[in-house]
Amino acid sequence: MDDMSPSPHIMYDRLLGGLLIEGFDEKSCRSRYQFARYHKSPNIPSPYLIEKLRKQEALQKKCGPGTKAYREASKQLRSGQSINMTDCNYLLLTIHAGMGNRMLEITSVFLYALLTNRILLVDRYKEIGDLFCEPFPGTSWLVPSDFPLNYGEFTQSSPESYGNMLQNKVFGDNTERSLAGTRPRYVFLYLDGNCGFHDKLFYCEDDQQFLQGVPWLIIRTDMYFVPSLFLIPAFQDELSRLFPEKDTVFHHLARYLFHPTNNVWYSVTKYYRSYLAKAEKRVGIQIRIYETKGILQRNGPFPHILNQILSCAQNQKLLPEIAMTEGAAAETQNKGAAAETQNNRTIAVLTTSLSSWYSDQIQKKYDEHPAVDGTTVEVHQPSHEEYQRSRNKKHNMKALAEIYLLSMTDELITSGFSTFGYAAQGLAGLKPWIMFRSENHMVPDPPCGRAMSIEPCFHQAPFYDCKAKRDTDLGKVLPYVRHCEDVSWGLKIV
Ligand code: GDP
CA of 98 to the centre of ligand 1 (A): 6
Q: Which atom of ligand 1 sits closest to the CA of residue 352? A: 23
Domains of the chain by residue range: 16-246, 262-493
Q: How far is the CA of 385 from the centre of ligand 1 (A)?
A: 9
- Residue 414: the pLDDT is 98
Ligand 1 center from residue 290 Cα (angstroms): 11
> For residue 65, what pLDDT is reported?
98
Q: Is the pLDDT of residue 180 over 50?
A: yes
243 or 9: which leads in pLDDT: 243
How far lies 164's CA from each of 94, 168, 188, 485, in Å?
A: 18, 6, 9, 33
Q: Does residue 169 or residue 407 have the better pLDDT?
A: 407
What pLDDT is stored for residue 1 in this prediction? 39
Distance 99 CA to ligand 1 centre (A): 6
CA of 342 to the centre of ligand 1 (A): 40
Question: For atom 3 of ligand 1, which residue has the closest CA?
Answer: 418
Q: Which residue has the higher pLDDT, 54 or 84?
A: 54
Ligand 1 site residues (CB inside 6 A) read: 97-101, 288, 352-354, 383, 385, 388, 390, 395-396, 398-399, 402, 418-420
Taking the CA of residue 353 as reference, the ligand 1 atom at the shortest distance is 23
Residue 84 has a pLDDT of: 77
- Is a pLDDT exceeding 90 seen at residue 173? no
Pick the more confident residue, 174 or 15: 15
Q: Hey, whose CA ends up nearest to atom 11 of ligand 1?
A: 98
Question: What's the 196 CA to ligand 1 centre distance in angstroms?
Answer: 26
CA-to-CA distance for 410 and 284, rounded, in angstroms?
8
Give the mutation target among 388, 403, 405, 422 for probing the ligand 1 site: most ligand atoms within 8 A of CB. Answer: 388
What average pLDDT does the segment 280-309 reach? 88
What is the Å distance from ligand 1's center to 388 Cα? Answer: 6
Q: Which residue has the least CA distance to atom 10 on ligand 1?
A: 98
* Distance in Å, CA 61 to ligand 1 centroid: 33
Pocket test for ligand 1, best of 349, 415, 418, 420 (most atoms within 8 A of CB): 420
pLDDT band for 36, please (50, 70, 90 cuts).
very high
| Arithmetic mean of pLDDT, 63-87 | 90
User: What is the per-residue pLDDT for 288?
Assistant: 96
- Range with the poorest average pLDDT among 132-141, 329-338, 460-469, 475-484: 329-338
Write down the pLDDT at residue 299.
75
Average pLDDT (218-243) is 98
Residue 333 pLDDT greater than 70, yes or no? no
Q: Which of 223-237, 280-294, 453-467 has the lowest average pLDDT?
A: 280-294
Distance between CA 10 and CA 38 in Å, rounded?
Answer: 11
Mean pLDDT for the stretch of residues 451-475: 96
What is the 105 CA–ligand 1 centroid distance (Å)?
A: 15
Mean pLDDT of 365-374: 93
The average pLDDT across 160-175 equals 85
Q: Measure the CA angle with vertex 146, ends 143 and 152; round to 5°.
A: 65
Task: Assess whether pLDDT exceeds 90 at residue 463.
Answer: yes
Q: From ligand 1's centre to the CA of 416, what distance in Å?
A: 13
* Percent of the chain scoring above 90 in pLDDT: 80
- Of the two residues 329 and 118, the one the predictor is more confident about is 118
Nearest ligand 1 atom to the CA of 422 is 4
Residue having the nearest C-alpha atom to atom 7 of ligand 1: 100
Note the pLDDT of residue 387.
86
Dihedral sign for Cα 319, 325, 326, 331, please.
negative
Closest by CA to 487, choosing from 112, 227, 107, 255, is 227
Q: Reduce the DSSP state of residue 121 to 3 states and report it.
A: strand
The residue whose C-alpha atom lies closest to atom 22 belonging to ligand 1 is 353
Of 171-180, 382-391, 435-444, the one with minimum mean pLDDT is: 171-180
Ligand 1 atom 27 nearest Cα: 399
Ligand 1, atom 26, residue with closest C-alpha = 399
Packing angle, helices 47-63 and 233-242, rounded to 10: 110
Predicted local confidence at residue 177, as pLDDT? 62
Question: How far, in Å, CA of 155 to CA of 167, rounded?
Answer: 14
Measuring from atom 13 of ligand 1, which residue has the nearest CA?
Answer: 98
Tens of pLDDT, residues 115-126? 999 999 999 877
- Contact assessment for residue 283 and residue 310, using Cβ atoms and an 8 Å cutoff: no
* Cα 426 from Cα 138, distance rounded (Å): 27
- 352/423 Cα distance (integer angstroms): 13
How many angstroms is it from 17 CA to the middle of ligand 1?
30
Question: How many C-beta atoms surround the C-beta of residue 212 within 10 A?
Answer: 14
Write down how long the chain is: 494
Residue 70's contacts (CB-CB under 8 Å, 6 or more residues apart) are 63, 64, 88, 144
Averaged confidence pLDDT in the chain = 91
d(C-alpha 260, C-alpha 103), whole Å: 12
What CATH number was assigned to the domain covering residues 262-493?
3.40.50.11350
